[in-house]
Structure 1
Amino acid sequence: MTAPDPARAAKALRGVAAAVLVLEGIAVLFVPRGIAQTEEGLGAGRLTILLVLATVLILASGVQRRERGLLIGTALQVPLLLTGLLNGIMWFVAGAFVLIWSYLLQVRKQLVGTPFGPVPEPRDGDADGAPAGTP
C-alpha cells in the first residue's frame, strides 16, 4: 500500500523525523543532571560527550529534508542508545526513541515504498499510481 501522493507523505514524515530528533536531543540534555547525582559524578568527558550528542541530534533534524537525512538520523540512534552506559534509565528512554524511529521507518516504507531512498515518481494513470485503463 502506498500513499496517493508519495511525495507529500515523504515530506510529512520528514517533519516527524525532525521532531523526533529534536526530542531526542532534549532528552539527552537531561542526562547530565542524573549522572551528577551518582557516585562517579559528572566529569568533563561525560559532559562533553552528552553535549556533542545533543547538538548533533538537533542539527541532524535540520538535514531531514536532504536525501541522506533519514540515514543520518538512523545512524544517530546507536549513540543515543549507548547513553544507557552513562545512566541506566537512558536504556529505557533511548529504547523508546529507537522504537519510535523504527516505527517511523516502517510507516515510510508502507506509504512511500522505501525506508531511505528517494521518493519514486508517480506513474501516469489515476491518483493511486495504478496504470490507466484504455479508453
Structure 2
Amino acid sequence: MTAPDPLRAAKALRGAAAAVLVLEGIAVLFVPRGIAQTEEGLGAGRLTVLLVLALLLILASAVQRRERGLLIGTALQVPLLLTGLLNSVMWIVAGAFVLIWSYLLQVRKQLIGTSFGPVPSPRAGDADGEDQATP
C-alpha cells in the first residue's frame, strides 16, 4: 500500500521524526539529574557526553528535511540506547524511543515504498487528476 500523495506523506513523516528526535534530546537532558544521585556521581566526562548527545539529537531534528536526515536520526538511536549504561532507567526510556523510531520507519516504508530512499516523484497524470477515473 502506498500513499496517494507520497510527497505529502513524506513531509508528514519527516515532521514526526523531527519531533521524536527533539523529545529524545529533552529526555537525555534529564539523565544527569539521575546520575548525580548515584554512588559514582556525575563527572565532567559523563556530563559532556550527555550534553553532546542531546545537542546532536536536537540538531538532527533540523536536518530531517534532507535526504540523509533519516539515516542520521537512525544512527543516533544507538548512542541513545547506550545511555542505559549510565542510568538503568534509560534502557526503558531509550528503548521506547527506539521502538517509536522503528515504527516511523515502518510506516514510511508502507506509505512511500522505502525506509531511507528518496521519495518517488508523482506521475504526470497524478498531479492534475486527468488520468484518474471519477466515481
TM bracket (short chain): over 0.9
What does 1:40-119 correspond to in 2, within 5 Å? Answer: 40-119=40-119
Q: 1:47 deviation in Å?
A: 0.2
| Offset of residue 122 of structure 1 | 2.0
Report the TM-score when normalising by structure 2: 0.92
> Given that residues 9 and 112 in structure 1 are in contact (C-alpha distance below 8 angstroms), is that contact kept between their aligned partners in structure 2?
yes
1:125 deviates by: 4.5
Stretch of structure 1 that moved more, 113-122 or 73-82: 113-122
Partner SS for 1:64: helix
* Aligned residue pairs, count: 131
Q: Distance in 2 between matches of 1:17 and 1:39?
A: 36
Letter paired with 1:84: G
Cα deviation, 1:59-115, whole Å, max 9, x if unaligned, reads: 000000000000000000000000000000000000000000000000000001100
* Secondary structure of 1:63's aligned partner: helix
What is the percentage of aligned positions where both structures have the same residue?
88
Q: Which amino acid aligns with 2:73?
A: G
